[in-house]
Amino acid sequence: MSGVVIHVPGDTTGADGDGAGVGAGAGAGLGVTMRLGPGEVVRFGRGSDTVPVELRLRDPAVSRLAGEIRVTQDHWQLTNHSPTQSYLVENPEGAGEYLRVPPRRAAAPIPFEFARVVLPGRGAAVSFQVFAPGHLYLDRPGVGGPWGTRTLTAYSLDETAAYFLVLVALCEPRLRDESAIAVPTTPQVVERLRSHPEFGQLTARAVSSHIDYLAGDKLRLAEPAEGPGRCSRRNGKREALVALALRFGLVGEEHLTLLPPRPRGGTPVLSGARSGGSR
């Protein structure tokens, strides 16, 4: 992957009471998702008519120009414009791992493939998610030679990451041969992972973000054809992810051990439901 995806939850964006509305073309109360390529910059903060920002955050404790994200070829950098407040960059998949970006720090390199940027707020902290470029790995010793070019990985997946666990949960019914066509909905994935010791707190919004990340950046699915509605397009996206992952062996029966044990009696994850339904 080259570039990053930034997602700001709907309860973070919106009007701040003095004219600063939602950035990136979103409506009030809706989340904002942006995609940036190498070399691109997005500024975030409360913003104003004289301080333009691409991502507006409505908490009054957030500076008009709070910071900016700059994308490079293989990572992203965070600049903290606040003169007094430190920002945290958390690795939600790293057992409490985080970085502190102090006031006025410029272009701090962020190494996490999936990160949450957290700013102090008047009430709850203000946060947004950043899905970063996939990590690069060297070829095995003895592969290729000085005359060759580096072989790129077609699908770079981290089997310890939450997005991969979501993919395994989506593939589980077909791997267990419980249904030829059923693919779990987002709420069903949330329920399936609820007893996981590390990722049991995943919300439907987080699962949807992981699905979008898999489709847009990890497995690079083509945009689905326009259907009758949003639900139809999301169903098609989940089904396309499962089809590609199983066709190329990206997920196999050996990965089912990553999921928490199923309820006693082996109740199918879909409880008899077919594909379709809500997110």
What are the domain boundaries of the chain?
A: 4-131, 162-258
Say which range, 13-22, 92-101, 161-170, 229-238, has the weakest mean pLDDT: 13-22
Once rounded to an integer, what is the mean pLDDT over residues 34-45? 92
Q: Are 94 and 111 contacting, i.e. CB atoms less than 8 angstroms apart? A: no
Q: Name the fold adopted by 4-131.
A: Tumour Suppressor Smad4 (2.60.200)
Once rounded to an integer, what is the mean pLDDT over residues 199-217? 89
Does the pTM of the predicted model rise above 0.85? no
Among candidate residues 135, 140, 165, the one with its CA nearest the CA of residue 150? 140
Q: Is 157 exposed, middle or buried (0-12, 13-18, 19+ CB in 10 A)?
A: middle
**Which residues make beta-bridge pairs with 36?**
4
Task: Report how far apart, in Å, the C-alpha atoms of 58 and of each of 81, 91, 116, 119, 209 are.
Answer: 17, 24, 17, 12, 21
Among candidate residues 83, 25, 18, the one with its CA nearest the CA of residue 46? 18
Of residues 4 and 181, the one with the higher pLDDT is 4
Per-residue pLDDT reduced to its tens digit, 50-101: 999 999 998 999 999 999 999 987 789 999 999 999 999 998 876 678 999 9
pLDDT at residue 184 in the model: 93
Element of type H or E holding 236? helix 230-247
Angle made by CA atoms 66, 67, 69, in degrees to the nearest 5:
150
pLDDT at residue 221 in the model: 86
Q: In Å, how far from its chain's centre is CA 266?
A: 30
pLDDT at residue 143 in the model: 53
Q: Which two tokens stand for residue 193?
A: 């992972």
Query: Is the model's pLDDT at 274 over the cut of 50?
Result: no
DSSP states of 43-81: EEES--SSS--SEE---TTS-SS-EEEEE-SS-EEEEE-
Of residues 19 and 99, the one with the higher pLDDT is 99
